[in-house]
Amino acid sequence: MNCIVETIAGKIEYNVYGNGKPIVFLHGGHSNSQEKLFLKGYNKNCFKLIVPSRPGYGKTPISNKTTHKDAAQLIIALLDVLQIKKCVVVGISAGGLTAIQMAATYPNRVEKLLLISAITQKWLSPEDTLYKMGKIVFSPMVERFTWSVYRLLFSLLPKTMTKVLFKQVSSITNTTITENEICEVKKMVSVQRSKKGFVADLDHDISNDAITKIKCPTLILHSKNDKSVAIAMAHHANTNINNSILKVYNNKWGHLLWLGKDSEAPIADANSFINSENIRYK
């Protein structure tokens, strides 16, 4: 169910799947409420999966909401509209900072926190080549063309383009990519756009004390082969969140923990964490 609602903090687009315990998914860069890859493995008869488009993505206007703090406030306003008092929050990749801000600032609204391949502190600096390239290639004036070409190439050369993407997200070499994996990647890419969200993400930063304020149970899932977000981000979160558990995987797809056969282990760990009442912390 795709919706756009007006909240006290502004308009926001979101999708809802299933019924039951509410889980809010904060997507990564270039994504939006239409992406379903990270929903794989959740029982929709037990969970209400809520996927909002963060400010600047999908049909959620960025207006003056350019920071992760603004995004956290907007998500809380959405929960108010949906009459959800408390939920599990999942921060994926660039959605990690918004998830951390929610758990730190609104502790009475976040039951548990799950960080998947997540950015947990400043990702890139203006001096970094990737930062400079991102500001140009995915600028609001250019990103439509960038994604049109990208999707065209995926349509014409799906296997080749999947290999190109693989090299960007995983440090694994000399591996075989299956037809099913190519299909999953094509579905993911088909709904992606940067719009005004990604260039805003590039400037997101978070105060050093914010992450230390998190008190809710936290599970951090990361790959040792993640080529997009360094595993140091996961260790940073684990060190600074008292009630946290870190699980590291040796998966093929690196940053994309929910892709391919290797996704079975993190999916099982995520479900166990969300359903568990007795969690052991460090």
For domain 2-275, the question of CATH label 3.20.20.450 is answered with no
d(CA 35, CA 33): 6
**pLDDT per residue as tens, the chain (282 positions):** 789 999 999 999 999 999 999 999 999 999 999 999 999 999 999 999 999 999 999 999 998 888 999 999 999 999 999 999 999 999 999 999 999 999 999 999 999 999 999 999 999 999 999 999 999 999 999 999 999 999 999 999 999 999 999 999 999 998 999 999 999 999 999 999 999 999 999 999 998 889 999 999 999 999 999 999 999 999 999 999 999 999 999 999 999 999 999 999 999 999 999 998 755 444
Q: Which is the catalytic residue, given 31, 33, 53, 93?
A: 93
SS3 state of residue 179: helix
Q: How crowded is residue 155: how many other Cβ atoms within 10 Å of its Cβ?
A: 12
| Among the listed residues 197, 222, 168, the one whose alpha carbon sits nearest the alpha carbon of residue 26 | 197
pTM: 0.96
Burial zone of 79 (CB within 10 Å; 0-12 exposed, 13-18 middle, 19+ buried): buried
Cross-strand pairs, 13 = 4
Instruction: From 193, 208, 204, select the one nearest 65 (Cα to Cα).
Output: 204
Write down the H helix ranges in 223-263. Answer: 232-240
- Residue 278's pLDDT is 55
* CB-based contacts of 230, cutoff 8 Å, min separation 6: none
Asked if 125 is an active-site residue, the reply is no
Dist. CA 84–CA 20, nearest whole Å: 11
- Contact (Cβ atoms closer than 8 angstroms) between residue 92 and residue 259: no
